[in-house]
Structure 1
Amino acid sequence: MRGGARPLRVLIWHVHGSWTTAFVQGRHTYLVPVLPDRGPDGRGRARTWDWPASVREVTPEQLGASATGGGDVRPDVVVLQRPHEAALLREWTGLRAGVDVAAVYVEHDSPREHAVRSRHPLAGGLVHDDDGSGGRPVPVPVVHVTHFNALMWDCGDAPTRVVEHGVVDPGHLATGERASLAVVVNEPVRRWRVAGTDLVVDLARRVPLDVYGMGMDALQQAAPHLAGHLHEDLPQARMHAEVARHRAYFHPYRWTSLGLALVEAMTMGLPVLALATTAAPESVPPEAGFLSTDPAALERTAQRWLADPAEARERGLAAREHALRRFGLARFLADWDDVLDDITGGAGVQQ
C-alpha cells in the first residue's frame, strides 16, 4: 500500500475508541456499523473522539443491500476484533470472512487466563459451517498490538504479525502544574486487580492523584477517600488537557495489553510510573520514567517527582521524544497499509 494502491472500503466495528481513532486517520473509507441502540455491536461513530469524515456509519440493512447489489458500502476487507463478528458479518450480509471478503483479526488483549495454555480463538482458522466446504477452516491473519501479546497467545497455524500502537499527536501539552499523579482506567472496580485498582486506592492515601475513565461512581463507593478526584468519561481533548496538568502518569496495570493512555501520556510529555509487567518494560525507556514491581519503589519515585518538577519535566521530554519516534501515527498507518495490501492484493476502490 505504501506504493500507492487504491484506497479500500474497510469494515470495522467501533470497539476500542482510542485505537480506532488512530486507525481511521488513514487514506481509506471506514465503514462502522451502527444499530438503533448504539450497543456494543453498533456503536457507530465516536462521540468523545474526533473522527474524520471518511468514517461512515452503516446499518446492517445497508451492508446487506450492498453485498448483494454491489453498492458503495460493500467492504473490500473486514477488520475483526471479537470472535463473534464473523458471524455478524454473515448474518447481515451473507459474506464469509476470509472467503467472500478479505479479513484480518486484531487481537488487542493479552490472554485472559494462563498464557501457556491460552489458545487463540482463530488459532484453527474460521469455520463457516453451512457454506458447503465441509467445515474446513479458513485461515485469517491475526495482528497483535504488542510483541508481548504475540508471544503469550498460542495462535496455532494462523499467520501472525505485530503492528504496535500509534496515536494522534495531541501536542506537547504537559505543564506539570499539579503536584499529583494522573491515572486513566475504565471500569476500575470490575477490573480491580487486573487494572491495579487496589494499588491506586492504596497509593492515594499518601500521594495525591486523580483517576479518569468510565465507571467512576463504583470506584467512589469502593474508595470514598477518592471523592473529588474522579473524572467520569471526559471527551478525549478535555481529558488530555486535564491529564497534562499533572506531574506524572501512573500506569498500575498488572496484566493487560499495553494501555494507549500510557502512550498518549508520554506523547503529551508526561513521565511515566508503571508496573514492570507485560509490554511496559519494552515501551518505556529508563530516561522516560520509572518501572518496578515494587509498589514502595514506585511511591518513592512519585514523591521525588512531586518535589522536583525539573526532573519530572526532563523525563517527560524524553518520554515525548520516544513516543513520537516509536508510536507515531505515520508509522502505524504505514504498517497497517502493508497489512491491508497483503490481504487484499492491493485491489481497492475504483476512483
Structure 2
Amino acid sequence: MRILIWHVHGSWTTAFVQGPHTYVVPVIPDRGPDGLGRARTFDWPDNVIELPPERLRDADIDVVILQRPHEYALAEQWLGRRPPMVYLEHNAPDGDVPNTRHPVADLPGVSLVHVTHFNRLMWDAGSAETTVIEHGIVDPGPLWTGEMPHAAVVVNEPKRRGRTTGTDLLPTFADAAPLDVFGMRTEGLADHLGLAAGRCRSHELAQRDLHSALARRRVYVHPIRWTSLGLSLLEAMHLGMPVVALATTEVTEAVPTGAGVVSNRIDLLTDAVRDFVADPLHARLVGEGARTAALARYGLSRFLDDWEQLLKEVTR
C-alpha cells in the first residue's frame, strides 16, 4: 500500500512508518510546512520516500492520512482525484470546549482517528465515522540510570505557551529539585521564570540524543495542563523513568498505579519529586513499573496492528 502523509508530527510519524507500506511524504523546495520531506532529526526507514507535489499524480497513492484541515484540498489538487482519506487528530480541542466542532464533521467520506479516548470525548465530530488508535512508541529500551538527582521536563516553546504547558508551575517544581527542561525554544527560560540557572537549565537536543539525556535524570515531570497526551511522557515511561504528572486529559489512563504519581494537588506532586530524588532505589522500582505499563498499552506492535486493520477497512 502507498500512503500519502505529510510530515507534521515527527515523533508520531516515526512510529507510523515502521509499518509494512510505502509512505510518501510531500517535499517542496523550501521544505516549508506543506512539504517538509523526510525527517532529519528522527531515524526513518527507507520505505519513507519524499516526492514533490507535481509527481504525486503518478505515485499510485492508495490512501491519504490528513492531519490538518487544509490538506483535504491539497490532496485533491495534487493527486487530481480523491482516494480514501483518514483524518488523524493529534490534539485536544481548543476554543469552546466541549462544543468545539471538528473539521471532519463537515467532510463527507473521511474517517476520523483520535489518538486518545479523551480527545474523542471532547471533540464534536457530528456524524463522522470515528475511532481511537492509541499511541505506539518505538521502544528506546530501559536506558534509565537516574544518576543525576534532577527532574526532567520536555516541552516545546514553554515561554509562549505559558499556562497551557504548565510553565508557571516550573518554579514550584524547581524548589523540589533542579529542573532540566528539554525542547524547542527553551532558551532563556530560567531568566523568564526568575530562576537561578542552577535551578532550571534549558536543553535543545536532536531527538536521537534526547532519550539518553532524559534517562540520566532521576524523575520525569509532566506539568502540562492541556494537551492530547505528550509522547515524551510515554517515551520517559519506556525508558524506565518514574513519572510525576498532572491528572489532566488522558494522563490518568496512561500512568497507572505503581508507575508514578498523578494528581492535581501540587503539594503531592512536589513531595513525590523530592521522594524520588532522595531515594534512587524507589525511583528505579517505580520506573520499572512505568516501563511495564507503557510497553503493555503503548507498544509498537499493537499500534501498527490497529492501523493495519483500519487501513484495510478504508481501502476495501
Same fold (TM over 0.5): yes
Partner residue, 1:58: 51
Residue of structure 2 aligned with 1:338, choices 286, 306, 309: 309
Q: Are residues 32 and 218 of structure 1, via their aligned partners in 2, closer, same or farther at CA, if it must alter by over 3 Å?
A: farther
Are residue 90 (structure 1) and residue 76 (structure 2) matched? yes
Deviations 1:266-322 (A, max 9, x none): 001001100001000011011000011011110011001110111110000011011
Q: Indicate the SS of the match to 2:304.
A: helix
Q: Indicate the SS of the match to 2:290.
A: helix
AA partner of residue 126 (structure 2): G
Residue of structure 2 aligned with 1:160, choices 120, 130, 137: 130
Deviations 1:225-248 (A, max 9, x none): 36461111x122211000000111
Partner residue, 1:130: none
Quick one: distance in 2 between partners of 1:311 and 1:149? 33
Deviations 1:149-206 (A, max 9, x none): 0011110000000000000001100001111111001111121111111112332244
Deviations 1:87-110 (A, max 9, x none): 111232322xxxx20100001011
What 5-or-longer segments of structure 1 have no aligned partner?
1-7, 126-137, 346-351
Shift of 1:224: 5.2
Are residue 29 (structure 1) and residue 22 (structure 2) matched? yes
Residue of structure 1 aligned with 2:95, choices 113, 130, 133: 113
Shift of 1:30: 0.2
Quick one: distance in 2 between partners of 1:295 and 1:183? 16
* Higher RCO (CA-CA < 8 Å; seq separation 6+): 1
Q: Indicate the SS of the match to 2:158.
A: coil
AA partner of residue 139 (structure 2): D
Q: Indicate the SS of the match to 1:216.
A: coil
Shift of 1:220: 4.5
RMSD: 1.3
Q: Indicate the SS of the match to 2:88.
A: strand
Partner residue, 1:183: 153
Quick one: distance in 2 between partners of 1:272 and 1:235? 22
What 5-or-longer segments of structure 2 have no aligned partner?
none
Partner residue, 2:286: 315
Partner residue, 2:62: 76
**TM-score (ref. length: structure 2):** 0.96
Quick one: distance in 1 between partners of 2:151 and 2:196? 13
Runs of 4+ residues over 6 Å off in structure 1: none
AA partner of residue 86 (structure 2): V
Are residue 262 (structure 1) and residue 230 (structure 2) matched? no
Mapped contact 1:205–1:225 kept (Cα < 8 A):
no
**TM-score (ref. length: structure 1):** 0.87
Q: Are residues 44 and 218 of structure 1, via their aligned partners in 2, closer, same or farther at CA, if it must alter by over 3 Å?
A: farther
* Identical positions, percent: 55
Which structure would you say has the larger Rg? 1
Quick one: distance in 2 between partners of 1:75 and 1:325? 33
Quick one: distance in 2 between partners of 1:206 and 1:299? 6
Count of aligned positions = 314
Partner residue, 1:4: none
Are residue 172 (structure 1) and residue 146 (structure 2) matched? no
Quick one: distance in 2 between partners of 1:75 and 1:217? 41
AA partner of residue 237 (structure 2): M
Mapped contact 1:267–1:324 kept (Cα < 8 A):
yes
